Amino acid sequence: MDRRKLGQYGENIAAQFLERRGFSIVWRNFQTRWGEIDLVAEKDSRLHFVEVKTRSGVDYGAGEEAIGRFKQLRLLGAAKMYIAKFQPVEKFYQIDSINVLLNKAQKTAKFRYLENIVSES
């Protein structure tokens, strides 16, 4: 499976993971000049902008290690653009990540859901 297909697969099962926990998926792959937000979800009147990192092994480190400060700032900018475009009344929001580790041999996935990975300060 190439990187793009792996990423799409990870986003699909991450969306299912969120839906099983009561989230509604509002948007997938929201494109801005700041970059892309993989998933926009809502739960309890709060928007969650979710960065999904999918790995098929640990050779390149954990997914959250790929979300450095520069990526965090881009996610924040993209989230603010989404809110400016679609939310006339400002909602509470946060930026989260879901790290998906696939085990191809066992056909299983482990999820690590990290909330509020970006602060504005």
pLDDT in tens, 33-49: 989 999 999 999 899 99
The tokens 């475009």 sit on which residue? Answer: 85
> What share of the chain in percent tops pLDDT 70?
87
CB-CB contact of 50 with 41 (8 Å): yes
Q: How many domains does the chain have?
A: 1
Residue 108 lies in a domain: yes
Range of the domain at 70: 3-114
Whole-number pLDDT of residue 2: 72
The answer as to whether 38 is a domain residue is: yes
Distance CA 109, CA 102 (A): 4
**Do the strands 24-32 and 46-55 form a parallel or antiparallel pair, or are they unpaired?**
unpaired
Tell whether 48 is covered by a domain. yes
Confidence (pTM): 0.88
Tell me if 120 is assigned to some domain.
no
Judge whether 80 lies within some domain. Answer: yes
Q: Give SS3 for 18.
A: helix
The CATH number of the domain where 14 resides is what?
A: 3.40.1350.10
Residue 121 clears pLDDT 90, i.e. is over it: no
H/E stretch holding 35 reads strand 35-43
User: Higher pLDDT residue, 98 or 63?
Assistant: 98
Q: Determine the Cα–Cα distance for residues 25 and 48; give it in Å rounded to an integer.
A: 9
pLDDT digits 0-9 by tens, 79-101: 999 999 987 677 789 999 999 98
Residue 119 forms part of a structural domain? no
Within 10 angstroms of residue 2's Cβ, the number of other Cβ atoms is 7
